[in-house]
Structure 1
Amino acid sequence: MKWMIYGATGYTGELITMHARRMGYKPVLAGRNKQKIETLANRAELPWRAFELDTPDSIAEQLDDIDLIINCAGPFEITAPPMLEACLKAQTHYLDITGEISVFELAYSLRKRAVEAGIIICPGVGFDVIPTDCIAARLNAQMPNATHLALGFDSSSRMSRGTALTGIRRLGDGGAVREDGKIKDVALAFKTRRINFGDGDKMAMTIPWGDVATAYYTTEIPNIEVYVPASPKLIKRMKRLNWIRWGFKIPLVRQRLEKKLAKQPPGPDKKEREQHYTWVWGEARNAQGDIITLREKVENGYTLTSRGSVELTIYILRNKLQPGFYTPSRLYGAKLIDRFLVT
C-alpha cells in the first residue's frame, strides 16, 4: 500500500523519513518546496511530489493513489483543516504529529464523516501525544471511576523550531485545562504544584498540551490538566505574561519572534537525542480521594515521534481496522508506550 509523508523536509519530517527508510519502507515524500523535496528524495532514494495546500480539491487530486498520509507540516491549525477535508474526499487515512488542541477537536468533530469515508483519523502520532495518552489509558484501566486526571512530562531536550513556533502562536490564547468535560481557556501557569515526574520532586505548571483534548476521548475522565517542570522564576515570568499576552496575537509582533526563531538550529542533533530521554507521569484521582500514579522513562521526544508515527502507519496499513477517529492508545492499545521505554 502507498503512503506519504507531507512536510518531509522539516526537522521532524526528515527524522520520520529517514527512520522509515532504515526500516525498509518507501513512502512518497511531499511538501511545498519542490527543490527541497527533490533534494531529500534523491538522497533517500524515494519517490516525491510537490504541491501546495491550496484547496481540499487540489490536495485530494494528489492523494488519489495514496492510502495514508502523515502530515508533518505545521502550524497544524493551518494545514490540518484542508488536508483533513482532502483525505475525506480521497478516502485516505490521516495521521499527523500535532500537539494543538484545536486540531484534535477538529479531528474529533469529523469522526462520523471518517466512518462514512471508510478512513481512520488519528492526529498526534508522535511525542504529542503517544506516551501521555498511553499513561492516561492505563490509569483509567486501574481506576475506572476516576474524576480527575493529571498528566505531564520532564525532558531536558531542546525544542525544534517548529515546536517553538507553535508555542508562540499559542501564547496569545493562554493556557487550557478540561473542567467538567469542557475545555476551558485559562491563564498561563494557571496552576502550580510539586511533582516527581521520575527524576526527583520539582515545581511544575500547567500547559495547554494536546492531552487536554485527547485524554478525554481516551478515558472520559472529565477533569484533565497537563504539567511540565518550571522554575519559580519561569512561573513568575509566565504569570506576568498574562497581562500582555494579547500582544502575541499582533501579526507584526509574531512575525518578529518567528524571524528570530528561524535563525536558531532546527532541533536537537543525534547525540543530544540519544542523551536526553523523557520522564512521563500521570495521576488519577476519584471522588473518594483515592490516588494512583504511574511513571515511565521513554526515548527523546523527537526519536519517539519518528518511530511512533511509522509504527502506527504500518499498523493501520497491515490491519483491517474500523474507520473513525482515534487517539493513539485507542488505535493500538496502551501497550504502544512499551515500544519506547528506556531501561
Structure 2
Amino acid sequence: MSMKWMIYGANGYTGTLVAQHAKQQGLQPVLAGRNSEAIHKLAGQLELPSCIVDLNDSTALQRALADVDIVVHCAGPFEVTAAPMIEACLASKTHYVDITGELSVFEYAHANHERAQQAGVVLCPGVGFDVIPTDCVAAKLKQALPDATELTLGFDSASRMSRGTAKTSVRRLGEGGAVRRDGKITPVPLAYHTRTIDFGNGEKFAMTIPWGDVSTAYYTTGIPNIEVFIPASPNLVKKLKRLNWFRWLLRFETVKKFLEKKVEQQPAGPNEKQLEQAITYVWGEAKNAQGVTETLRITVMNGYKLTSHGAVDVAQYILTHSPAGGFYTPATLCGADLVEKYYVVA
C-alpha cells in the first residue's frame, strides 16, 4: 500500500527546495498551502498533486490530512503555524515533521509527547539544518563522553539567509538569547557569552545564539548545560549588547511587522551557486565535571540544501520504519549517523 505525504508551505523558498528534491528522488508528495496561485503553479511545474487549505481553518485542515500519512511542514513563522498543524495532525493521526529552529516550537512539540504517543503520531520538528547537524554532533559527543555535564555547539556558514529565516530571527530579537542551565532553558541577553572557536575553518570570534539545540540537544543527550555559538564580529557583538537596553521595543507586533517588511526587500534565499558552494562547518565540545573534554568537527552541505535533503529523508524514514508515536529529535529518531549523509569535503 503506497503512503501519502504532504509538503505544506511548498511555495516558500525552502518548501520549494524540498518539493524539488522530492521530485528528483522520484517521489510524489502533495504540495499544499493557502496561496492557490503559487501552489498550483509549482505543482504544475513539478507535475505533482496539490491541495489548497488554510491553517486557520481547522476543520478543513483535518479533512485535508485525513488520508495523509505524514506532513513536512515548511510554512513559517513556526511560532504561529506549528501549533495548528500539530493539533490537526494529532486529530487526524498524521505524522508531523518540520524545518523549524524555533525554541518555542520544540518545547511545544515535546509538551505533546504523551498525546502523540496515544495517537501513534510522530512529532519530530527540526528535520533540516535546524537541527540535524548539531543534534547529531551532540549525540556523537554524548557517546564519546557519557558523563558530560556541559555541551557547547556551533556552526559557521557563509550562506545567505532565506527571507523566512530572517523574518523568524527578527521576530525573536525582542526575546533575547537563551541557554540551557541546570536542565532548564534560561533567557539571557543577546550576545550573552563570547569566545574564540575553530569551527573547522580557522579560529573566529563567536557569540551565543538561541539556536534550537538549546531545546533539542537536552532531549537527545540529557546534558544539563548547553550553549550554541556562531561567528560574529566584535562590532556586531557591541551593537547587540547595546540593543539589550531597548529590546523590549522589539516585542511589539507593529515593530515586528516593520522589520519583516524590511526583510521582504532581500533576495528569497541563497542562489544556486551558494547552494552548491557555501558549505557549513559544524563544531561541538562536551565536558564532564572532571574537566575532560571531547571535541568534534564536521563539514556539511549548505544549510538550505541540507534541509531539502533532510526533510525528505526523515519523512521517508518514518514512512518506512513506522516508529512509535511521540516526540523525537532527528538523532533520537534516525540515529546520530543521519548527518553522515550530508558530509562534504572542505
Asked if Structure 1 and Structure 2 have the same fold, meaning a TM-score greater than 0.5 normalized by the shorter chain, the answer is yes
CA shift at 1:55, angstroms? 4.2
CA shift at 1:230, angstroms? 0.6
| Superposed CA RMSD | 0.7
- 1:93-172 alignment runs, 5 A limit: 93-172=95-174
Q: Secondary structure at the match of 1:244?
A: helix
- 1:237-294 alpha-carbon deviations (Å, 9 max, x no partner): 1101101111111222222211121121100011111111000000000000111100
What is the alpha-carbon distance in structure 2 between the residues aligned to residue 323 and residue 295 of structure 1?
32
CA shift at 1:209, angstroms? 0.2
Report what 1:73 is aligned to. Answer: 75
What is the alpha-carbon distance in structure 2 between the residues aligned to residue 114 and residue 158 of structure 1?
35
Equivalent pair of 1:55/1:82 in contact (CA under 8 Å):
no
- TM-score, normalization by structure 2: 0.98
| Uncovered stretches (5+) of structure 2, i.e. residues with no partner | none
What is the alpha-carbon distance in structure 2 between the residues aligned to residue 230 and residue 290 of structure 1?
27
| Range moving further from structure 2, 171-180 or 237-246 | 237-246
- TM-score, normalization by structure 1: 0.99
Report what 2:327 is aligned to. Answer: 325
Paired amino acid for 2:36: K
Report what 1:312 is aligned to. Answer: 314
Equivalent pair of 1:196/1:202 in contact (CA under 8 Å):
yes
Equivalent pair of 1:104/1:123 in contact (CA under 8 Å):
yes
- 1:88-138 alpha-carbon deviations (Å, 9 max, x no partner): 000000000000000000000111111110111100000000000000000
Paired amino acid for 1:232: P
Identity %: 59
Residue 285 in 1 paired to residue 287 in 2?
Answer: yes
What is the alpha-carbon distance in structure 2 between the residues aligned to residue 57 and residue 91 of structure 1?
14
Report what 1:31 is aligned to. Answer: 33
Paired amino acid for 2:61: I
Paired amino acid for 2:133: P
- 1:56-71 alignment runs, 5 A limit: 56-71=58-73
Q: Secondary structure at the match of 2:269?
A: coil
Equivalent pair of 1:148/1:222 in contact (CA under 8 Å):
yes
Residue 19 in 1 paired to residue 21 in 2?
Answer: yes
What is the alpha-carbon distance in structure 1 between the residues aligned to residue 318 and residue 190 of structure 2?
37
Report what 1:210 is aligned to. Answer: 212
Report what 1:264 is aligned to. Answer: 266
Q: Secondary structure at the match of 1:242?
A: helix
Q: Secondary structure at the match of 1:331?
A: helix
Q: Secondary structure at the match of 1:121?
A: strand
| Uncovered stretches (5+) of structure 1, i.e. residues with no partner | none
- 1:23-69 alpha-carbon deviations (Å, 9 max, x no partner): 00000000011111001100110000111111433311110010000
- 1:305-328 alpha-carbon deviations (Å, 9 max, x no partner): 000000011111011312211000
- The aligned length equals 343
What is the alpha-carbon distance in structure 2 between the residues aligned to residue 254 and residue 118 of structure 1?
37
Report what 1:336 is aligned to. Answer: 338
